[in-house]
Structure 1
Amino acid sequence: MMFYIRDQATTATGNGKVATALIAEFNSGQPVGTKWHIAKAADLMKRLSELLEKTASRR
């Protein structure tokens, strides 16, 4: 049985993670599914960076 975070995410490439989709897109030159995943990856990196900066400033 497969579980997905979003109901509309019913198909996945590889393990269903953004990084896997990005690698597939870079290798093929085509989007995975109906959209490119670069914006989602950039947003995730930005949020991670902000979290790490916030955590570092508490020390």
Structure 2
Amino acid sequence: MTGSVMKSEGEHRKDIVEVCRRIYSKGYVASNDGNVSVRISDEEVIATPTGMS
């Protein structure tokens, strides 16, 4: 990808937290419904844990 900057794992984690806050604030999920994940490479995925609030 020419001209693009890769995000660090920490930045991806912050993005996941922000997405979770937004979907909760809009009432799309209860406190610990579902999971949010992001693929950070061909072999790595970061995901929220199941059943945690």
The TM tier, using the shorter chain, reads 0.3 to 0.5
Structure with the largest fraction of helix:
1
TM-score, scaled relative to structure 1: 0.36
TM-score, scaled relative to structure 2: 0.40
Structure with more relative contact order (C-alpha pairs < 8 Å, separation 6 or more): 2
